[in-house]
């Protein structure tokens, strides 16, 4: 018992506090990568039928051929655009294509893997191949559940407790540079402990573009862990709704040390109030940059969906950040309609690791002739492009809500314009 | 015939559409697909999956309806030449489209039915008079026996030059 705690403190917590690495995580990752490579080779050898070469990104190719010919080209013939019975074929096929495979709903469930990564949960399409593989899988289960899980849980407990205790302690100090400095130390240390609690390996790129004070950091959203991934390398003022339970305790403690922006449930519905408070925060150049996820909900990290324009109306400098997880080591996506937060954290802690790349993009400001929506789209493009994600004009809110009628009305309008265009009707 | 991997994929898709996880799909399950919900003929397409009077479709029914969209060249590989006509034959594809227009299922497309479908496609953007003229002209051109309605035979004749196979097929990539 005591030896265990001492080992954890000495090998993990202390280095986290000092920001140094002992190389244990690196060694673990090396072993893991080699094992998964071996498993992939065995799987490919074990497959009896010769398979056609699988494309590198299943998401990009999809399962069916999509015909992207626009309505006008498909339906109109030369100068005649009068109604014909055959026009129905266009809408019919588009409808059936969407039924077989649509661009939107697939983003709300986990990405499919190209090759099995020895986790039961991803074993959908892969069958029994060999005894050796099964043995390795069993060893993997034992390692993950009996060794890694308790270790990670301990670390998470230490990290969260330190966060609450540390920030409450720092919160007692009078406001000033000492308090700010200590607050940053506490936040960074606890964040690092939590990252180790997830066996996180994060590669940060272009650190010179890191968000500055008085700015707004926006990133694509995949999971609640995103915040920890970012705070591992810098200090931010969090923005969000006040929760109950443990989360609420953490929120109340941390806001004493650092001016995070927490909203009551009633306040968050008032868009003007939210914008006003954020504007005040951003105007104060001594305050930490705020962290916002404009998609508003978790997406499965294969695409970036519509950015809500609210964050882009505040003004100030936007620091875009792209986060891309490597699904081979563990699925970071939180499918909130399928798993609650506790199940989700359990799944994360029994994965191999969380591996991700974070790119800090150069700061952006709204141009004179741009409105908030155009600016939001410009930032979104930059993030999608950097992270290798598809850009989708759809709202992440479609996870739960129905699509607005205006989109259907737009389709109807386009079709009508085609029919009426040449003036010859009837 | 449909390959094993295609069936697996479609089954996977079927279950992912089933939000309540109670087995068969309901109309609401289809309407949750945004690209289908914004399709002007979305409701007619969804309707094609549900047999008369039913509110549920199981995987078998799902596959049966989707089978209409298999490319015709798949049939050349099938050895069963004496069996019933496959669902994805040119004639059956046309029949499927015909049924989208034939709202009351009386094997005729009346002026009224055509107007209703047209209204779905154009929304509020064209007046009743203009739409009426379009419907009249269309029926007049296709109607051969003078009953002011379009039978399936007349429908087929009008579309004889159209590449139905290409327009009403969905190809799998693997």
Residues of chain B with C-beta less than 8 angstroms from the C-beta of A98: 33, 35-36, 39
A54 pLDDT above the threshold of 60: no
What is the model's pTM?
0.82
Which residue did the predictor score with more confidence, A65 or A288?
A288
| CB nearest to A425's CB, from B13, B34, B134 | B134
Residues of chain B with C-beta less than 8 angstroms from the C-beta of A417: 125
Q: What pLDDT shows up at residue B111? A: 93
| CB nearest to A65's CB, from B8, B66, B173 | B173
**Mean pLDDT across A273-298:** 89
Residues of chain A with C-beta less than 8 angstroms from the C-beta of B57: none
Whether the Cβ atoms of residue A83 and residue B122 lie closer than 8 Å to each other: no
Residues of chain A with C-beta less than 8 angstroms from the C-beta of B64: none
The 8 Å CB, 24+ separation contacts for B133-139 are B133/A425, B133/A426, B134/A82, B134/A83, B134/A419, B134/A425, B134/A426, B135/B111, B136/A426, B136/B111, B137/A82, B137/A426, B138/A83, B138/A84, B138/A85, B138/B114, B139/B109, B139/B111, B139/B114
A50 pLDDT above the threshold of 50: no
Q: What pLDDT shows up at residue A59? A: 41
B119 to chain A: closest CA residue: A412
Q: Give chain A's mean pLDDT.
A: 84
The three-class DSSP label of residue A211 is coil
Residues of chain A with C-beta less than 8 angstroms from the C-beta of B94: none
- Could you give the percent of chain A with pLDDT greater than 90? 28
B8 to chain A: closest CA residue: A125
With CA atoms as reference, report the closest residue to B39 among B141, B140, B121.
Answer: B121
**Residue B106, min C-alpha distance to chain A (Å):** 18
Testing the interface with B: which of A57, A81, A99 to mutate, by most B Cβ within 10 A? Answer: A99
SS3 of chain A: helix, strand, coil, percent, to 5: 50, 10, 40
CA pseudo-torsion sign A288, A184, A325, B16: negative
Task: Compute CA distances B16 → A43, A403, B33, B37, B151, whole Å.
Answer: 26, 18, 11, 17, 39
Residues of chain B with C-beta less than 8 angstroms from the C-beta of A420: 125-126, 130
B15 to chain A: closest CA residue: A100
With CA atoms as reference, report the closest residue to A184 among A249, A289, A257, A283.
Answer: A257
CA distance A306 to A391: 8
Distance from the first to the final alpha carbon of chain A: 88
A295 pLDDT above the threshold of 80: yes
**Residue A304, min C-alpha distance to chain B (Å):** 16
Q: What pLDDT shows up at residue B85? A: 82
CA distance A46 to B10: 25
The three-class DSSP label of residue B160 is coil
User: Tokens representing A63?
Assistant: 């399962």
Model confidence over A142-152: pLDDT tens digits? Answer: 888 888 888 88
**Number of Cα atoms under 13 Å in the Cβ half of residue A307:** 27
- CB count in 10 Å sphere of residue B133: 14
Name the pLDDT band for A264 (thresholds 50, 70, 90).
confident
Q: Distance from CA of residue A182 to its chain's centroid?
A: 29
CA distance A65 to B173: 6
CA distance A13 to A190: 9
A210 pLDDT above the threshold of 50: yes
Beta bridge partners of A64: B172
Beta bridge partners of A201: A355
Say whether A425 and B130 touch across the interface (CB within 8 A).
yes
CA distance A280 to A314: 9
ipTM summary value: 0.92
Model confidence over B131-155: pLDDT tens digits? Answer: 999 999 999 999 988 899 999 999 9
Domains of chain B: 1-68 (1.10.238.10), 84-169 (1.10.238.10)
Say whether A65 and B97 touch across the interface (CB within 8 A).
no
């Amino acid at each position: 018992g005591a030896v265990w705690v001492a080992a954890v403190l000495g090998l993990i917590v202390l280095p986290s506090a000092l920001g140094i690495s002992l190389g244990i995580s690196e060694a673990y990752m090396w072993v893991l990568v080699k094992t998964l490579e071996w498993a992939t080779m065995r799987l490919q050898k074990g497959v009896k039928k010769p398979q056609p070469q699988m494309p590198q990104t299943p998401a990009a190719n999809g399962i069916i051929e999509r015909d992207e010919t626009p309505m006008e080209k498909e339906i109109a013939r030369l100068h005649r655009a009068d109604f014909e019975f055959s026009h129905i074929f266009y809408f019919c096929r588009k409808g059936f294509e969407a039924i077989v495979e649509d661009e939107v709903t697939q983003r709300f469930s986990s990405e499919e893997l190209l090759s099995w990564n020895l986790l039961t949960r991803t074993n959908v399409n892969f069958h029994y191949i060999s005894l050796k593989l099964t043995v390795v899988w069993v060893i993997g289960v034992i390692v993950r559940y009996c060794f890694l899980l308790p270790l990670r849980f301990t670390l998470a407990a230490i990290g969260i407790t330190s966060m609450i205790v540390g920030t409450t302690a720092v919160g007692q100090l009078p406001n000033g540079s000492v308090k700010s400095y200590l607050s940053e130390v506490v936040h960074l240390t606890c964040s690092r402990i939590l990252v180790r609690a997830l066996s996180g390996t994060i590669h940060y790129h272009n650190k010179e573009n890191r968000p500055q004070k008085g700015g707004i950091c926006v990133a694509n959203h995949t999971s609640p862990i995103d915040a920890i991934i970012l705070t591992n390398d810098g200090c931010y003022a969090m923005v969000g709704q006040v929760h109950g339970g443990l989360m609420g305790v953490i929120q109340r403690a941390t806001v004493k040390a650092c001016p995070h922006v927490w909203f009551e449930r009633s306040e968050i519905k008032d868009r003007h109030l939210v914008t006003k408070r954020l504007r005040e925060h951003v105007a104060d150049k001594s305050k930490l940059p705020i962290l916002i996820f404009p998609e508003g909900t978790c997406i499965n990290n294969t695409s970036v969906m519509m950015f809500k324009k609210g964050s882009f109306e505040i003004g100030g400098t936007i620091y875009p950040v792209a986060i891309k997880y490597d699904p081979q080591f563990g699925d970071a996506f939180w499918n909130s309609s399928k798993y609650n937060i506790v199940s989700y954290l359990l799944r994360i802690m029994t994965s191999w690791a969380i591996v991700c790349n974070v790119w800090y993009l150069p700061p952006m400001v709204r141009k004179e002739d741009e409105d908030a929506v155009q600016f939001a789209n410009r930032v979104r493009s930059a993030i999608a492009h950097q992270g290798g994600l598809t850009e989708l004009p759809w709202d992440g809110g479609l996870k739960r809500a129905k699509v607005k009628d205006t989109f259907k009305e737009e389709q109807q309008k386009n079709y009508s314009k085609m029919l009426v265009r040449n003036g010859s009707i009837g | 015939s449909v390959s094993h991997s295609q069936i697996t994929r479609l089954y996977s898709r079927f279950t992912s559409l089933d939000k309540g996880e109670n087995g068969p799909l309901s109309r609401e399950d289809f309407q949750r697909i945004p690209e289908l919900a914004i399709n002007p003929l979305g409701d007619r397409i969804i309707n094609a999956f549900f047999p008369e009077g039913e509110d549920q479709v199981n995987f078998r029914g799902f596959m049966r309806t989707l089978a209409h969209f298999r490319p015709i060249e798949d049939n050349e590989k099938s050895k069963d030449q004496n069996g019933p006509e496959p669902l994805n034959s040119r004639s059956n594809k046309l029949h499927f489209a015909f049924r989208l227009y034939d709202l009351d299922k009386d094997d005729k497309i009346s002026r009224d039915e055509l107007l209703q479908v047209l209204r779905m496609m154009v929304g509020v953007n064209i007046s009743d008079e203009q739409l009426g003229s379009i419907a009249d002209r269309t029926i007049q051109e296709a109607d051969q026996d003078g009953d002011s309605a379009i039978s399936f035979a007349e429908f087929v004749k009008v579309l004889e030059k159209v590449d139905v196979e290409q327009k009403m097929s969905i190809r799998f990539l693997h």
